[in-house]
A and B are shown apart, each in its own frame.
Chain A
Amino acid sequence: MSGTTSTALRIRRGITLPLLLLVVWEFSSRTGLVDPRFLPPLESVIATARRELFGNDLIFDLLSSLARNLCGFLLGAAVGIAFATVLALSPLAGRLVMPTFNGFKQISLLAWIPLISVWFGFGEQAKIVFVALACFIPVVLNTYDGMRDAPADLIEVGRALQFNARQRFWRIYLPSAMPAIATGIHLGLIYSWLATVGAEYFLAVGPGIGGLVIAGRERFDMAMVMVGVIILGLVGFSLNRLAATVENHLLRWRPPRAA
Protein backbone atom coordinates (compact mmCIF):
# COMPACT_ATOMS: atom_id res chain seq x y z
CA MET A 1 0.00 0.00 0.00
CA SER A 2 2.74 2.42 0.91
CA GLY A 3 5.68 3.23 -1.26
CA THR A 4 3.47 4.38 -4.09
CA THR A 5 3.87 8.03 -3.16
CA SER A 6 7.30 9.60 -3.11
CA THR A 7 9.00 10.40 0.14
CA ALA A 8 9.17 14.09 -0.70
CA LEU A 9 5.45 14.27 -1.17
CA ARG A 10 4.83 12.46 2.09
CA ILE A 11 7.07 14.82 3.98
CA ARG A 12 5.36 17.77 2.38
CA ARG A 13 2.00 16.40 3.38
CA GLY A 14 3.24 15.59 6.85
CA ILE A 15 4.35 19.09 7.66
CA THR A 16 1.28 20.78 6.19
CA LEU A 17 -0.92 20.51 9.24
CA PRO A 18 1.76 21.47 11.78
CA LEU A 19 2.69 24.48 9.67
CA LEU A 20 -0.93 25.45 9.29
CA LEU A 21 -1.36 25.19 13.05
CA LEU A 22 1.65 27.41 13.62
CA VAL A 23 0.32 30.01 11.19
CA VAL A 24 -3.11 30.01 12.81
CA TRP A 25 -1.47 30.24 16.24
CA GLU A 26 0.75 33.14 15.23
CA PHE A 27 -2.08 34.92 13.45
CA SER A 28 -4.58 34.59 16.26
CA SER A 29 -2.19 35.61 18.99
CA ARG A 30 -0.94 38.59 17.01
CA THR A 31 -4.34 39.87 16.05
CA GLY A 32 -5.58 39.41 19.58
CA LEU A 33 -8.16 36.89 18.43
CA VAL A 34 -7.44 34.81 21.52
CA ASP A 35 -6.32 35.81 24.96
CA PRO A 36 -2.51 35.68 24.97
CA ARG A 37 -2.75 34.25 28.46
CA PHE A 38 -4.19 31.10 26.90
CA LEU A 39 -2.21 31.17 23.69
CA PRO A 40 0.99 33.16 24.06
CA PRO A 41 2.66 34.26 20.82
CA LEU A 42 5.33 31.92 19.48
CA GLU A 43 8.11 34.34 20.25
CA SER A 44 7.17 34.49 23.91
CA VAL A 45 7.34 30.70 24.06
CA ILE A 46 10.78 30.85 22.48
CA ALA A 47 11.81 33.63 24.86
CA THR A 48 10.63 31.55 27.79
CA ALA A 49 12.57 28.55 26.51
CA ARG A 50 15.64 30.80 26.28
CA ARG A 51 15.12 32.18 29.75
CA GLU A 52 14.69 28.75 31.27
CA LEU A 53 17.66 27.42 29.34
CA PHE A 54 20.16 30.16 30.10
CA GLY A 55 18.74 32.08 33.04
CA ASN A 56 17.31 29.19 35.00
CA ASP A 57 18.37 25.62 35.28
CA LEU A 58 16.46 23.95 32.49
CA ILE A 59 19.35 21.63 31.71
CA PHE A 60 19.65 20.70 35.36
CA ASP A 61 15.90 20.05 35.54
CA LEU A 62 16.12 17.86 32.48
CA LEU A 63 19.13 15.94 33.76
CA SER A 64 17.46 15.45 37.13
CA SER A 65 14.40 14.00 35.47
CA LEU A 66 16.47 11.78 33.21
CA ALA A 67 18.66 10.52 36.05
CA ARG A 68 15.58 9.68 38.09
CA ASN A 69 14.06 7.98 35.09
CA LEU A 70 17.18 5.97 34.35
CA CYS A 71 17.78 4.83 37.94
CA GLY A 72 14.18 3.75 38.34
CA PHE A 73 14.14 2.07 34.97
CA LEU A 74 17.31 0.06 35.54
CA LEU A 75 16.20 -0.98 39.00
CA GLY A 76 12.73 -1.96 37.80
CA ALA A 77 13.98 -3.80 34.72
CA ALA A 78 16.69 -5.75 36.57
CA VAL A 79 14.46 -6.78 39.45
CA GLY A 80 11.62 -7.47 37.03
CA ILE A 81 13.64 -9.81 34.82
CA ALA A 82 15.03 -11.68 37.81
CA PHE A 83 11.62 -11.96 39.44
CA ALA A 84 9.91 -13.15 36.27
CA THR A 85 12.68 -15.68 35.56
CA VAL A 86 12.22 -17.32 38.93
CA LEU A 87 8.48 -17.47 38.43
CA ALA A 88 8.71 -18.81 34.92
CA LEU A 89 11.29 -21.51 35.63
CA SER A 90 9.54 -22.80 38.70
CA PRO A 91 5.97 -23.74 37.76
CA LEU A 92 4.89 -23.86 41.37
CA ALA A 93 6.23 -20.38 42.11
CA GLY A 94 4.50 -19.11 39.00
CA ARG A 95 1.17 -20.59 40.01
CA LEU A 96 1.55 -19.23 43.52
CA VAL A 97 2.57 -15.69 42.64
CA MET A 98 1.29 -14.79 39.21
CA PRO A 99 -2.43 -14.55 40.08
CA THR A 100 -1.61 -12.18 42.93
CA PHE A 101 0.70 -10.21 40.68
CA ASN A 102 -2.01 -9.96 38.04
CA GLY A 103 -4.35 -8.68 40.70
CA PHE A 104 -1.89 -6.06 41.93
CA LYS A 105 -1.15 -4.81 38.44
CA GLN A 106 -4.79 -3.78 38.09
CA ILE A 107 -4.19 -1.01 40.61
CA SER A 108 -3.37 2.02 38.49
CA LEU A 109 0.19 3.07 38.91
CA LEU A 110 -0.64 6.55 40.22
CA ALA A 111 -2.75 5.04 42.98
CA TRP A 112 0.49 3.87 44.59
CA ILE A 113 1.64 7.45 45.13
CA PRO A 114 0.26 7.93 48.66
CA LEU A 115 1.68 4.68 50.01
CA ILE A 116 5.03 5.18 48.33
CA SER A 117 5.15 8.66 49.75
CA VAL A 118 4.51 7.35 53.25
CA TRP A 119 6.91 4.44 52.90
CA PHE A 120 9.80 6.25 51.26
CA GLY A 121 9.27 9.87 52.26
CA PHE A 122 10.24 13.02 50.46
CA GLY A 123 13.68 12.12 49.19
CA GLU A 124 14.84 10.86 45.84
CA GLN A 125 14.23 7.22 46.85
CA ALA A 126 10.47 7.58 46.76
CA LYS A 127 10.57 8.87 43.19
CA ILE A 128 13.00 6.21 42.03
CA VAL A 129 10.96 3.45 43.64
CA PHE A 130 7.85 4.74 41.93
CA VAL A 131 9.56 4.81 38.53
CA ALA A 132 10.97 1.34 39.16
CA LEU A 133 7.50 0.03 39.97
CA ALA A 134 6.19 1.45 36.71
CA CYS A 135 8.92 -0.33 34.76
CA PHE A 136 8.73 -3.53 36.81
CA ILE A 137 5.17 -4.46 35.83
CA PRO A 138 5.46 -4.68 32.02
CA VAL A 139 8.92 -6.23 32.28
CA VAL A 140 7.67 -9.01 34.55
CA LEU A 141 4.60 -9.73 32.43
CA ASN A 142 6.50 -9.94 29.17
CA THR A 143 9.51 -11.81 30.51
CA TYR A 144 7.24 -14.34 32.19
CA ASP A 145 5.19 -14.90 29.06
CA GLY A 146 8.32 -15.11 26.92
CA MET A 147 9.93 -17.75 29.09
CA ARG A 148 6.75 -19.76 29.46
CA ASP A 149 6.41 -19.80 25.70
CA ALA A 150 9.84 -21.33 25.16
CA PRO A 151 9.35 -23.93 22.42
CA ALA A 152 8.64 -27.38 23.82
CA ASP A 153 10.94 -29.07 21.31
CA LEU A 154 13.87 -26.98 22.51
CA ILE A 155 13.15 -27.89 26.11
CA GLU A 156 13.00 -31.51 24.98
CA VAL A 157 16.39 -31.16 23.34
CA GLY A 158 17.74 -29.64 26.53
CA ARG A 159 16.47 -32.58 28.50
CA ALA A 160 18.07 -35.00 26.02
CA LEU A 161 21.38 -33.17 26.32
CA GLN A 162 21.03 -33.27 30.10
CA PHE A 163 21.40 -29.51 30.51
CA ASN A 164 21.63 -28.31 34.06
CA ALA A 165 19.48 -25.44 35.30
CA ARG A 166 22.00 -22.82 34.36
CA GLN A 167 22.50 -24.17 30.85
CA ARG A 168 18.75 -24.42 30.40
CA PHE A 169 18.42 -20.77 31.37
CA TRP A 170 21.23 -19.40 29.23
CA ARG A 171 20.77 -21.62 26.16
CA ILE A 172 17.03 -22.15 25.99
CA TYR A 173 14.84 -19.89 28.08
CA LEU A 174 16.70 -16.61 27.79
CA PRO A 175 17.26 -16.69 24.02
CA SER A 176 13.71 -17.73 23.24
CA ALA A 177 12.30 -15.12 25.63
CA MET A 178 14.54 -12.37 24.27
CA PRO A 179 11.96 -10.77 21.96
CA ALA A 180 9.37 -10.71 24.73
CA ILE A 181 11.90 -9.29 27.19
CA ALA A 182 12.78 -6.61 24.68
CA THR A 183 9.11 -5.71 24.35
CA GLY A 184 8.82 -5.58 28.12
CA ILE A 185 11.83 -3.33 28.40
CA HIS A 186 10.50 -1.09 25.68
CA LEU A 187 7.19 -0.74 27.48
CA GLY A 188 9.03 -0.32 30.76
CA LEU A 189 10.96 2.60 29.34
CA ILE A 190 7.80 4.33 28.21
CA TYR A 191 6.04 3.70 31.51
CA SER A 192 9.00 4.84 33.52
CA TRP A 193 8.97 8.21 31.76
CA LEU A 194 5.30 8.57 32.52
CA ALA A 195 6.04 7.66 36.13
CA THR A 196 8.89 10.17 36.31
CA VAL A 197 6.46 12.92 35.41
CA GLY A 198 3.92 11.53 37.89
CA ALA A 199 6.51 11.37 40.66
CA GLU A 200 7.48 14.99 40.06
CA TYR A 201 3.84 16.07 40.15
CA PHE A 202 2.72 14.22 43.21
CA LEU A 203 5.77 13.61 45.38
CA ALA A 204 7.90 16.25 47.10
CA VAL A 205 9.07 19.30 45.18
CA GLY A 206 12.44 18.93 43.49
CA PRO A 207 14.21 19.83 40.29
CA GLY A 208 12.66 18.27 37.20
CA ILE A 209 10.64 18.93 34.09
CA GLY A 210 7.40 17.81 35.73
CA GLY A 211 7.96 20.36 38.48
CA LEU A 212 8.61 23.01 35.83
CA VAL A 213 5.25 22.33 34.19
CA ILE A 214 3.39 22.45 37.50
CA ALA A 215 5.16 25.69 38.45
CA GLY A 216 4.21 27.15 35.08
CA ARG A 217 0.58 26.34 35.68
CA GLU A 218 0.67 27.88 39.13
CA ARG A 219 2.13 31.09 37.76
CA PHE A 220 -0.41 31.06 34.97
CA ASP A 221 2.51 31.10 32.57
CA MET A 222 1.25 29.25 29.50
CA ALA A 223 4.54 29.74 27.66
CA MET A 224 6.41 27.98 30.45
CA VAL A 225 3.90 25.13 30.52
CA MET A 226 4.27 24.76 26.75
CA VAL A 227 8.04 24.63 26.97
CA GLY A 228 7.79 21.94 29.63
CA VAL A 229 5.20 19.93 27.75
CA ILE A 230 7.23 20.05 24.54
CA ILE A 231 10.28 18.77 26.42
CA LEU A 232 8.19 16.00 27.96
CA GLY A 233 7.13 14.99 24.48
CA LEU A 234 10.64 15.17 23.01
CA VAL A 235 12.10 13.06 25.78
CA GLY A 236 9.28 10.55 25.48
CA PHE A 237 9.87 10.38 21.75
CA SER A 238 13.64 9.95 22.11
CA LEU A 239 13.25 7.23 24.72
CA ASN A 240 10.82 5.44 22.47
CA ARG A 241 13.23 5.60 19.54
CA LEU A 242 16.11 4.54 21.73
CA ALA A 243 14.15 1.55 22.95
CA ALA A 244 13.23 0.58 19.41
CA THR A 245 16.87 0.78 18.32
CA VAL A 246 18.06 -1.25 21.28
CA GLU A 247 15.30 -3.75 20.64
CA ASN A 248 16.39 -4.21 17.04
CA HIS A 249 20.00 -4.43 18.08
CA LEU A 250 19.27 -7.06 20.71
CA LEU A 251 17.28 -9.13 18.28
CA ARG A 252 19.53 -8.71 15.25
CA TRP A 253 20.88 -12.25 15.46
CA ARG A 254 17.43 -13.64 15.31
CA PRO A 255 16.34 -14.78 11.88
CA PRO A 256 12.94 -13.37 11.05
CA ARG A 257 10.49 -15.81 12.51
CA ALA A 258 8.33 -17.61 10.01
CA ALA A 259 4.70 -16.67 10.68
Chain B
Amino acid sequence: MAVLTVTEVHAAGGAPRVWRKRTMRGLTALLLPAALLLLWWTASDRGWLAEQILPHPVYVFEALRDMLASGDLVYHVGVSLRRVLIGFAIGACLGLALGIAMGLSERVEDYVKPLFLAFAQIPTLGWIPLLMLLVGIGETLKIIVITKGALVPMTLNTFAGIRNVSPRYLEVADALRFTRWQRLRLVILPAAIPFVFTGIRYGLTHAWTSLVGVELLASSEGLGYLLVWGRQMFWLDTVIIAMLAIGVVGFIMDGGLNRTERLIQRWKRSEI
Protein backbone atom coordinates (compact mmCIF):
# COMPACT_ATOMS: atom_id res chain seq x y z
CA MET B 1 0.00 0.00 0.00
CA ALA B 2 2.72 2.40 1.01
CA VAL B 3 4.62 1.87 -2.21
CA LEU B 4 1.54 2.61 -4.23
CA THR B 5 0.83 5.89 -2.50
CA VAL B 6 4.36 7.09 -3.01
CA THR B 7 4.29 6.46 -6.75
CA GLU B 8 0.87 8.01 -7.06
CA VAL B 9 1.95 11.17 -5.30
CA HIS B 10 5.06 11.32 -7.36
CA ALA B 11 3.13 10.90 -10.57
CA ALA B 12 0.62 13.54 -9.59
CA GLY B 13 3.26 16.07 -8.60
CA GLY B 14 5.33 15.72 -11.73
CA ALA B 15 2.50 15.29 -14.19
CA PRO B 16 3.50 17.90 -16.78
CA ARG B 17 7.09 16.72 -16.76
CA VAL B 18 6.09 13.10 -17.04
CA TRP B 19 3.84 13.99 -19.92
CA ARG B 20 6.53 15.92 -21.69
CA LYS B 21 8.88 13.02 -21.24
CA ARG B 22 6.29 10.59 -22.54
CA THR B 23 5.59 12.69 -25.60
CA MET B 24 9.30 12.92 -26.28
CA ARG B 25 9.59 9.18 -26.00
CA GLY B 26 6.62 8.65 -28.24
CA LEU B 27 8.08 10.95 -30.84
CA THR B 28 11.48 9.25 -30.69
CA ALA B 29 9.76 5.90 -31.11
CA LEU B 30 7.99 7.14 -34.22
CA LEU B 31 11.16 8.51 -35.80
CA LEU B 32 12.41 5.17 -37.09
CA PRO B 33 9.13 3.98 -38.62
CA ALA B 34 8.75 7.38 -40.25
CA ALA B 35 12.29 7.24 -41.61
CA LEU B 36 11.75 3.70 -42.89
CA LEU B 37 8.55 4.68 -44.60
CA LEU B 38 10.23 7.67 -46.20
CA LEU B 39 13.10 5.48 -47.36
CA TRP B 40 10.71 2.87 -48.72
CA TRP B 41 8.72 5.57 -50.50
CA THR B 42 11.77 7.22 -52.06
CA ALA B 43 13.36 3.93 -53.01
CA SER B 44 10.18 2.80 -54.76
CA ASP B 45 9.70 6.16 -56.44
CA ARG B 46 13.20 6.27 -57.80
CA GLY B 47 13.14 2.64 -58.81
CA TRP B 48 16.00 1.59 -56.50
CA LEU B 49 13.70 -1.07 -55.17
CA ALA B 50 12.17 -3.44 -57.68
CA GLU B 51 8.44 -3.65 -57.42
CA GLN B 52 8.56 -7.42 -57.16
CA ILE B 53 10.76 -7.15 -54.07
CA LEU B 54 8.74 -4.51 -52.24
CA PRO B 55 5.72 -2.82 -53.82
CA HIS B 56 5.33 0.94 -53.68
CA PRO B 57 3.72 2.10 -50.42
CA VAL B 58 1.00 3.73 -52.47
CA TYR B 59 0.01 0.33 -53.82
CA VAL B 60 -0.12 -1.02 -50.30
CA PHE B 61 -2.33 1.85 -49.13
CA GLU B 62 -4.56 1.44 -52.16
CA ALA B 63 -4.88 -2.27 -51.59
CA LEU B 64 -5.61 -1.62 -47.91
CA ARG B 65 -8.29 0.90 -48.82
CA ASP B 66 -9.87 -1.52 -51.32
CA MET B 67 -9.83 -4.39 -48.85
CA LEU B 68 -11.34 -2.25 -46.12
CA ALA B 69 -13.98 -0.92 -48.46
CA SER B 70 -14.93 -4.36 -49.73
CA GLY B 71 -15.00 -5.76 -46.21
CA ASP B 72 -12.53 -8.49 -47.18
CA LEU B 73 -10.00 -7.62 -44.53
CA VAL B 74 -12.55 -7.43 -41.74
CA TYR B 75 -13.99 -10.73 -42.90
CA HIS B 76 -10.65 -12.57 -42.84
CA VAL B 77 -9.67 -11.04 -39.49
CA GLY B 78 -13.04 -12.09 -38.12
CA VAL B 79 -12.64 -15.66 -39.31
CA SER B 80 -9.18 -15.93 -37.79
CA LEU B 81 -10.21 -14.32 -34.51
CA ARG B 82 -13.17 -16.62 -34.12
CA ARG B 83 -10.97 -19.66 -34.63
CA VAL B 84 -8.39 -18.44 -32.15
CA LEU B 85 -10.91 -17.53 -29.49
CA ILE B 86 -12.69 -20.88 -29.68
CA GLY B 87 -9.47 -22.89 -29.75
CA PHE B 88 -7.89 -20.78 -27.06
CA ALA B 89 -10.91 -21.03 -24.77
CA ILE B 90 -10.90 -24.81 -25.01
CA GLY B 91 -7.14 -25.06 -24.64
CA ALA B 92 -7.00 -22.66 -21.71
CA CYS B 93 -9.75 -24.46 -19.78
CA LEU B 94 -8.20 -27.85 -20.39
CA GLY B 95 -4.77 -26.52 -19.51
CA LEU B 96 -6.03 -24.92 -16.34
CA ALA B 97 -7.71 -28.12 -15.25
CA LEU B 98 -4.72 -30.26 -16.12
CA GLY B 99 -2.28 -27.84 -14.49
CA ILE B 100 -4.30 -27.69 -11.29
CA ALA B 101 -4.67 -31.46 -11.18
CA MET B 102 -0.95 -32.01 -11.67
CA GLY B 103 -0.08 -29.22 -9.29
CA LEU B 104 -2.24 -30.47 -6.48
CA SER B 105 -1.61 -34.16 -6.75
CA GLU B 106 1.82 -35.60 -6.99
CA ARG B 107 0.26 -38.83 -8.15
CA VAL B 108 -1.42 -37.20 -11.13
CA GLU B 109 1.82 -35.43 -11.89
CA ASP B 110 3.78 -38.67 -11.87
CA TYR B 111 1.30 -40.36 -14.17
CA VAL B 112 0.57 -37.60 -16.63
CA LYS B 113 3.53 -35.27 -16.82
CA PRO B 114 6.03 -37.50 -18.67
CA LEU B 115 3.53 -38.25 -21.42
CA PHE B 116 2.39 -34.64 -21.52
CA LEU B 117 5.96 -33.39 -21.84
CA ALA B 118 6.66 -35.89 -24.58
CA PHE B 119 3.65 -34.62 -26.52
CA ALA B 120 4.62 -31.03 -25.84
CA GLN B 121 8.09 -31.59 -27.33
CA ILE B 122 6.64 -31.98 -30.79
CA PRO B 123 6.22 -28.57 -32.39
CA THR B 124 2.65 -27.64 -33.21
CA LEU B 125 3.62 -27.49 -36.86
CA GLY B 126 4.61 -31.14 -36.63
CA TRP B 127 1.15 -32.14 -35.48
CA ILE B 128 -0.62 -30.49 -38.38
CA PRO B 129 0.07 -33.13 -41.10
CA LEU B 130 -0.78 -35.93 -38.70
CA LEU B 131 -4.03 -34.28 -37.70
CA MET B 132 -4.81 -33.56 -41.34
CA LEU B 133 -4.81 -37.29 -41.97
CA LEU B 134 -7.00 -37.91 -38.95
CA VAL B 135 -9.59 -35.15 -39.12
CA GLY B 136 -9.19 -33.70 -42.61
CA ILE B 137 -8.61 -30.06 -43.44
CA GLY B 138 -11.85 -28.61 -42.13
CA GLU B 139 -12.64 -26.39 -39.16
CA THR B 140 -11.96 -29.19 -36.65
CA LEU B 141 -8.31 -29.29 -37.66
CA LYS B 142 -7.89 -25.58 -37.02
CA ILE B 143 -9.56 -25.71 -33.63
CA ILE B 144 -7.53 -28.73 -32.48
CA VAL B 145 -4.24 -27.18 -33.55
CA ILE B 146 -5.02 -23.89 -31.81
CA THR B 147 -6.21 -25.73 -28.72
CA LYS B 148 -2.92 -27.58 -28.58
CA GLY B 149 -1.02 -24.32 -28.98
CA ALA B 150 -2.79 -22.82 -25.97
CA LEU B 151 -2.89 -25.97 -23.88
CA VAL B 152 0.83 -26.51 -23.37
CA PRO B 153 1.90 -23.15 -21.90
CA MET B 154 -1.32 -22.95 -19.92
CA THR B 155 -0.79 -26.33 -18.29
CA LEU B 156 2.88 -25.82 -17.53
CA ASN B 157 2.42 -22.34 -16.06
CA THR B 158 -0.57 -23.27 -13.96
CA PHE B 159 1.36 -26.24 -12.68
CA ALA B 160 4.40 -24.11 -11.86
CA GLY B 161 2.20 -21.54 -10.18
CA ILE B 162 0.63 -24.05 -7.87
CA ARG B 163 3.93 -25.66 -7.04
CA ASN B 164 5.47 -22.28 -6.31
CA VAL B 165 3.10 -21.41 -3.52
CA SER B 166 5.33 -20.50 -0.62
CA PRO B 167 5.47 -23.29 1.98
CA ARG B 168 4.99 -20.62 4.62
CA TYR B 169 1.50 -19.88 3.35
CA LEU B 170 0.72 -23.54 3.43
CA GLU B 171 1.95 -23.72 6.99
CA VAL B 172 -0.34 -20.87 7.89
CA ALA B 173 -3.19 -22.66 6.19
CA ASP B 174 -2.38 -25.77 8.17
CA ALA B 175 -2.25 -23.79 11.37
CA LEU B 176 -5.64 -22.33 10.61
CA ARG B 177 -6.93 -25.84 9.90
CA PHE B 178 -8.22 -24.89 6.47
CA THR B 179 -10.21 -27.52 4.63
CA ARG B 180 -8.88 -28.69 1.29
CA TRP B 181 -11.26 -26.44 -0.57
CA GLN B 182 -10.34 -23.46 1.57
CA ARG B 183 -6.67 -24.10 1.00
CA LEU B 184 -7.23 -24.18 -2.75
CA ARG B 185 -9.51 -21.19 -2.89
CA LEU B 186 -7.89 -18.92 -0.33
CA VAL B 187 -4.22 -19.81 -0.54
CA ILE B 188 -3.13 -21.75 -3.57
CA LEU B 189 -5.17 -20.23 -6.39
CA PRO B 190 -4.58 -16.57 -5.46
CA ALA B 191 -0.86 -17.26 -5.20
CA ALA B 192 -0.87 -19.02 -8.55
CA ILE B 193 -2.76 -16.33 -10.42
CA PRO B 194 0.25 -14.43 -11.80
CA PHE B 195 1.57 -17.71 -13.21
CA VAL B 196 -1.81 -18.58 -14.69
CA PHE B 197 -1.81 -15.20 -16.32
CA THR B 198 1.58 -15.77 -17.82
CA GLY B 199 0.13 -19.02 -19.11
CA ILE B 200 -2.79 -17.18 -20.65
CA ARG B 201 -0.47 -14.72 -22.36
CA TYR B 202 1.83 -17.36 -23.78
CA GLY B 203 -1.15 -19.53 -24.60
CA LEU B 204 -2.78 -16.80 -26.61
CA THR B 205 0.48 -15.97 -28.39
CA HIS B 206 1.01 -19.63 -29.25
CA ALA B 207 -2.59 -19.99 -30.33
CA TRP B 208 -2.17 -17.04 -32.68
CA THR B 209 1.06 -18.42 -34.15
CA SER B 210 -0.47 -21.88 -34.58
CA LEU B 211 -3.44 -20.33 -36.33
CA VAL B 212 -1.23 -18.72 -38.95
CA GLY B 213 0.55 -22.05 -39.46
CA VAL B 214 -2.59 -24.08 -39.93
CA GLU B 215 -4.20 -21.45 -42.16
CA LEU B 216 -1.10 -21.38 -44.34
CA LEU B 217 -1.30 -25.13 -44.87
CA ALA B 218 -4.97 -25.61 -45.52
CA SER B 219 -7.78 -23.14 -45.52
CA SER B 220 -10.01 -21.07 -47.70
CA GLU B 221 -10.40 -18.05 -45.46
CA GLY B 222 -8.63 -16.23 -42.67
CA LEU B 223 -5.47 -14.17 -42.42
CA GLY B 224 -3.13 -17.09 -43.11
CA TYR B 225 -5.10 -17.78 -46.25
CA LEU B 226 -4.80 -14.14 -47.22
CA LEU B 227 -1.03 -14.53 -46.95
CA VAL B 228 -1.00 -17.60 -49.17
CA TRP B 229 -3.35 -15.97 -51.59
CA GLY B 230 -1.14 -12.90 -51.87
CA ARG B 231 1.94 -15.06 -52.24
CA GLN B 232 0.42 -17.21 -54.97
CA MET B 233 -0.92 -14.26 -56.91
CA PHE B 234 2.31 -12.35 -56.39
CA TRP B 235 0.41 -9.54 -54.73
CA LEU B 236 2.99 -8.40 -52.27
CA ASP B 237 0.76 -5.54 -51.19
CA THR B 238 -1.81 -8.07 -49.99
CA VAL B 239 0.93 -10.05 -48.27
CA ILE B 240 2.11 -6.95 -46.42
CA ILE B 241 -1.43 -6.06 -45.38
CA ALA B 242 -2.00 -9.57 -44.07
CA MET B 243 1.28 -9.36 -42.12
CA LEU B 244 0.28 -6.00 -40.66
CA ALA B 245 -3.14 -7.34 -39.71
CA ILE B 246 -1.54 -10.33 -38.01
CA GLY B 247 0.81 -7.99 -36.17
CA VAL B 248 -1.90 -5.56 -35.12
CA VAL B 249 -4.19 -8.28 -33.80
CA GLY B 250 -1.26 -9.87 -31.97
CA PHE B 251 -0.30 -6.50 -30.54
CA ILE B 252 -3.79 -5.76 -29.31
CA MET B 253 -4.18 -9.17 -27.69
CA ASP B 254 -0.76 -8.98 -26.08
CA GLY B 255 -1.23 -5.39 -24.96
CA GLY B 256 -4.64 -6.10 -23.48
CA LEU B 257 -3.37 -9.07 -21.52
CA ASN B 258 -0.32 -7.15 -20.42
CA ARG B 259 -2.50 -4.43 -18.94
CA THR B 260 -4.78 -6.95 -17.25
CA GLU B 261 -1.77 -8.74 -15.85
CA ARG B 262 -0.46 -5.52 -14.31
CA LEU B 263 -3.88 -4.72 -12.89
CA ILE B 264 -4.09 -8.11 -11.30
CA GLN B 265 -0.64 -7.79 -9.84
CA ARG B 266 -1.46 -4.37 -8.43
CA TRP B 267 -4.68 -5.71 -6.99
CA LYS B 268 -2.74 -8.56 -5.43
CA ARG B 269 -0.16 -6.27 -3.96
CA SER B 270 -2.77 -4.02 -2.44
CA GLU B 271 -4.55 -7.04 -1.02
CA ILE B 272 -1.43 -8.22 0.74
Q: Which residues of A contact B (CB under 8 A)?
A: 1-2, 4-5, 9-10, 13-18, 21, 37-38, 92, 95-100, 103-104, 106-115, 117-119, 193-194, 197-198, 201-202, 210, 213-214, 216-217, 220, 222, 225-226, 228-230, 232-234, 236-237, 240
B250 at interface, CB cutoff 8 A: yes
Q: List 14 additional contacts besides A110-B213, A111-B243, A217-B132; criterion CB under 8 Å.
A: A4-B106, A17-B115, A21-B115, A38-B133, A95-B28, A95-B29, A104-B247, A107-B244, A111-B227, A201-B217, A202-B216, A225-B129, A225-B133, A237-B121
Question: Which residue from chain B places its CB closest to the CB of A220 in the assembled complex?
Answer: B133
B161-212 residues with Cβ-Cβ distance < 8 A to A are: 163, 208-209, 212
Of A2, A96, A230, the residue contacting B32 (CB under 8 A) is A96
Question: Known contacts A1-B163, A17-B112; is A232 also within 8 Å of B126 by CB?
Answer: yes
Q: Which residues of B contact A (CB under 8 A)?
A: 25, 28-33, 36, 52-53, 106-107, 110-115, 118, 121-127, 129-130, 132-134, 163, 208-209, 212-213, 216-217, 223-224, 227-228, 230-231, 236, 239-240, 242-244, 246-248, 250-251, 254
Question: Which residue from chain B places its CB closest to the CB of A202 in the assembled complex?
Answer: B216
* CB <8 Å contact, A5 and B110: yes
Majority-rule SS of B interface residues: helix
The 6 closest A-B pairs by CB, nearest first: A99-B29, A13-B110, A114-B231, A233-B122, A217-B129, A107-B247
* CB <8 Å contact, B133 and A96: no
Question: Which residue from chain B places its CB closest to the CB of A110 in the assembled complex?
Answer: B212
In whole angstroms, what is the CA distance A216 to B129 when docked?
Answer: 8
Give chain B residues whose Cβ lies under 8 Å from the Cβ of A232: 122-123, 126
Give chain A residues whose Cβ lies under 8 Å from the Cβ of B236: 114-115, 118
Shortest beta-carbon distance, A209 to chain B, in Å?
A: 9
Question: Known contacts A1-B106, A95-B25, A201-B217; is A118 also within 8 Å of B123 by CB?
Answer: no
In whole angstroms, what is the CA distance A193 to B106 when docked?
Answer: 32
Question: Known contacts A197-B126, A213-B126, A217-B132; is A108 also within 8 Å of B212 by CB?
Answer: yes
Give chain B residues whose Cβ lies under 8 Å from the Cβ of A225: 129-130, 133
Question: Known contacts A100-B33, A103-B251, A107-B250; is A229 also within 8 Å of B118 by CB?
Answer: no
Of A4, A18, A97, the residue contacting B118 (CB under 8 A) is A18
* CB <8 Å contact, A240 and B121: yes
17 pairs from A and B in contact (CB 8 Å cutoff) = A9-B110, A14-B113, A17-B112, A17-B115, A96-B29, A97-B32, A107-B244, A110-B216, A113-B227, A118-B52, A197-B123, A213-B129, A214-B129, A229-B122, A229-B127, A229-B130, A233-B126
